[in-house]
Amino acid sequence: MNISVSGPKILFEWGSFHITETVVNGWIIMAVIVLLCIWLTHGLKLRNPSKKQIVAEKLVMMATNMVRDTMGEKYIGFAPYIGTLFAFSVLGSLSSLLGMRPMTGDLNTTLGWALVTFVLVQGNNIRINGLGGWLKSFVQPVAVMLPMNIIGEIANPISMAFRHFGNIASGIVISTLIYSALGALSSTILSFIPVEFINSIPILQVGLPAMLSIYFDLFTGFLQAYIFCMLTMSFVSGVE
Amino acid sequence: MERAIILAASAIGAGLAMIAGIGPGIGQGYAAGKGAEAVGRQPEAKGDIMSTMLLGCAVAESTGIYGLVVAMILLFANPLINLL
């Protein structure tokens, strides 16, 4: 029996530039989101809206309300970014239901998003407090705290990235392990039948992994996307 | 022989790294218990309590995730085996 848990496969290679499964899945998900947006916003009407228009309005309202409740009216311009991040993250994690490797199970993806958040937080801080105030905030209580403050600022994006990556990647590892274990178990159970063909049928692999997938793909995928957006919003709006 | 020792030590190390799972387990259980108490006291604020609790649970989870990342690096992308 061999169980293989590996990182994303490299699909193309141009010199030292690798195009991995993650990147290709990311392109597919971007295309899906763009097509979905074009389809949902096609032919909007002011009177008796169609069903898909109601769905589109509901989605936009949800993103706007989430941003308004968490960040306040001042930051309402962040709603499109947060909505995009949420949709990209949810669809990226849910793509594992279709047998693709989830895009968010790769540290490069989540670290990229976390770095965007980091730049937003620092940029917002500079915009509000000015360059001098931003630099001064690092020596805030006393000057000795400088290294602590710098480490604290850098730790935020790293912990956000690792949190999202770790949850999805542990889902991949545990699903793979349990799937192989169920295969081995079913061949043990069926081993009393002497026919080679029948005892190679993995009966336990039918259905049971789907139950796990409800937790690891649906629940974790939505929860981590929500948490990532929530943390982004509270870090950006938490700048004093 | 050295390879075998390194592999065995890495497997044990990965198992030890996952002891980090105890902390977040206790922390999240505490947060969930307090959340249940808060809902019992103020059922009308259930939505706010739920989102705050999930956020707190997620932040408490960080240290466990660090342990998991260390364990996964030791198991699947072992950096020590190249030092031989």
B45 and chain A in contact, CB less than 8 A: no
Question: How many angstroms separate the Cα of A206 from the Cα of each of A59, A72, A182, A193, B41?
Answer: 35, 48, 9, 20, 44
Q: Look at residue A216 in the predicted model and tell me its pLDDT.
A: 82
- Answer whether B61 touches A (CB < 8 Å): yes
Residues 6+ apart with CB under 8 A from A200: A187
The answer to whether residue B77 neighbours chain A at the CB level (below 8 Å) is: yes
Q: Considering the domain boundaries, does residue A221 fall inside one?
A: yes
Structure tokens at B34: 């307090």
Residue A121 lies in a domain: yes
Residue of B53, B55, B63, B78 to mutate when probing chain A, most A C-beta within 10 A? B55
Dihedral angle of Cα A148, A154, A156, A158, to the nearest 10 degrees: -130
What integer pLDDT is reported at residue A1 of this predicted model? Answer: 59
Number of structural domains chain A divides into: 1
Domain limits for position A212: 10-237
Nearest to B72 among A173, A224, A227 (CB): A173
Please give the pLDDT value at position B47. Answer: 85
Asked whether residue A5 is assigned to any structural domain, the reply reads no
In this structure, is residue A3 part of a structural domain? no
Whether B54 has its CB under 8 Å from any CB of chain A: the answer is yes
Residue A225 lies in a domain: yes
Contacts of A231 in chain B (CB under 8 A): 55, 58-59
Decide if A125 contacts A239 (C-beta within 8 A): yes
**Quick check: is A232 in a domain?**
yes
> A227, B58: Cβ pair inside 8 Å?
yes
Q: Are the beta carbons of B62 and A223 separated by less than 8 Å?
A: no
Q: Is residue A1 part of a domain?
A: no
Positions of chain A with pLDDT lower than 50, given as ranges:
none
Place of tokens 């108490």: B37
SS3 (DSSP) at A11: strand
Identify whether A4 is part of a domain: no
User: Domain locations in chain B?
Assistant: 2-83
ipTM of this predicted complex? 0.78
Give contacts of B62 with chain A, Cβ < 8 Å: 159, 162-163
Fold of B2-83: F1FO ATP Synthase (1.20.20)
pLDDT one-digit tens code per residue, B32-75: 999 999 999 999 998 889 888 888 888 888 888 889 889 988 88
Cβ of B36: how many Cβ atoms within 10 Å? 12
